């Protein structure tokens, strides 16, 4: 909820605060963005700074199905498939603290490190260096890493994730973002030529992992189908909050799909009650 920029904050967070940060935010999204709670199934820890067992305990007890915050370099070739935490994980722990307990039925979706042009690992593609500034460089970066999982000598076709921030693709031409977006779209177009590749979200991918379906049966199944979603936000409410209505020294603005609550919604008061 707070997206606190200090990684030490997340690393040392106790279960009570993880509850307020994560479970309460799901309630927030349900109330103010009209996102069904059942559609919010997983989480990525801010800045990939996971919180070990307190975080995993809260996610499992809170009804979340998965988390995707743990990069792996040791298990990128062959790729480590998503796994349940029924037993203690043997995945490498790049960012501590990692959980050491068992969480039956709760999934970890490993972030298979990409390799940048400098041969260094990067869990998020926007952290790969040097930053690609042309369409070709972007396309080649994505294609090379995709093939490590899809067609390489050690490929086992573990799910290949492209994790980034919107700023890497959206911006002005002098930032290279226009060229990167072109390269990214070229890469997606290339994937579209493969009859055995699907571009899906994590929850959809996990449904296949739980129940592997032969390729020729996927079109007739409900896997990877995107149902028509109703417009749950027909009216947008623009809300202004004076400093005395917030925990901050300055005013705040926000746009909601529901009427403006009396107080600025924040940690400890996720619904903005008076």
- On average, the pLDDT of the chain sits at 96
pLDDT digits (tens, 9 = 90+) for 209-219: 999 999 999 99
Residues whose CB is less than 8 angstroms from the CB of residue 222 and which lie 6 or more positions away in sequence, other chains included: none
Q: pLDDT-based confidence at 176, cuts 50/70/90?
A: confident
Share of the chain above pLDDT 90, in %: 92
d(CA 219, CA 76): 29
Q: Where are the alpha helices (DSSP H) in 153-217?
A: 177-191, 202-210
Residue 97, preceding peptide bond in cis (omega within 30° of 0)? yes
- State phi, psi for 241 to the nearest 5 degrees: -125, 120
Task: Let me know: does 85 contact 104? Beta carbons within 8 Å.
Answer: yes
Residue 78, preceding peptide bond in cis (omega within 30° of 0)? yes
> With a threshold of 0.85, does the pTM exceed it?
yes
Task: Report whether pLDDT(208) > 80.
Answer: yes
Task: Report whether pLDDT(172) > 80.
Answer: no
pLDDT digits (tens, 9 = 90+) for 59-93: 999 999 999 999 999 999 999 999 999 999 999 99
Listed range (156-165, 184-193, 217-226) with the worst mean pLDDT: 217-226
pLDDT digits (tens, 9 = 90+) for 223-256: 888 878 889 999 999 999 999 999 999 999 999 9
Please tell me the chain's helix, strand, coil percentages from 3-state DSSP, rounded to the nearest 5: 35, 15, 55
What pLDDT is recorded for position 67? Answer: 98
Task: Report whether pLDDT(103) > 90.
Answer: yes
What pLDDT is recorded for position 225? Answer: 85
218-223: average pLDDT: 90
DSSP state of 21: I
E strands in 48-167: 66-67, 71-72, 83-85, 103-108, 111-112, 114-115, 121-122
What pLDDT is recorded for position 264? Answer: 98
What pLDDT is recorded for position 153? Answer: 86
What pLDDT is recorded for position 226? Answer: 80
Q: Domain residue spans in the chain?
A: 1-111, 113-197, 233-274
What pLDDT is recorded for position 18? Answer: 98
């Amino acid at each position: 909820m707070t997206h606190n920029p200090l990684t030490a904050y997340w690393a040392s967070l106790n279960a009570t605060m993880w509850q307020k940060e994560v479970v309460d935010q799901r309630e927030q999204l349900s109330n103010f963005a009209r996102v069904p709670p059942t559609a919010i199934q997983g989480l990525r820890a801010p800045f990939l700074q996971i919180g070990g067992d307190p975080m995993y305990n809260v996610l499992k007890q809170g009804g979340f199905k998965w988390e995707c915050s743990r990069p792996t370099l040791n298990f990128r070739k062959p790729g480590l498939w998503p796994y349940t935490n029924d037993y203690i994980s043997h995945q490498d722990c790049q960012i501590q603290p990692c959980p050491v307990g068992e969480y039956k039925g709760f999934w970890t979706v490993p972030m298979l490190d990409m390799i940048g042009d400098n041969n260094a690992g990067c869990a998020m593609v926007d952290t790969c260096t040097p930053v690609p500034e042309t369409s070709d460089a972007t396309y080649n970066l994505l294609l090379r890493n995709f093939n490590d999982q899809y067609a390489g000598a050690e490929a086992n076709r573990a799910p290949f994730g492209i994790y980034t921030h919107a700023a890497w693709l959206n911006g002005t031409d002098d930032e290279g973002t226009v060229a990167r977006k072109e390269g990214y779209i070229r890469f997606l177009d290339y994937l579209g030529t493969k009859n055995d590749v699907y571009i899906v979200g994590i929850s959809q991918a996990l449904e296949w992992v739980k129940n592997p379906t032969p390729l020729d049966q996927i079109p007739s199944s409900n896997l990877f189908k995107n149902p028509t979603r109703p417009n749950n936000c027909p009216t947008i409410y623009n809300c202004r909050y004076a400093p005395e209505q917030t925990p901050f020294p300055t005013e705040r603005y926000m746009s909601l799909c529901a009427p403006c609550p009396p107080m600025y919604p924040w940690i400890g008061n996720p619904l903005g009650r008076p």
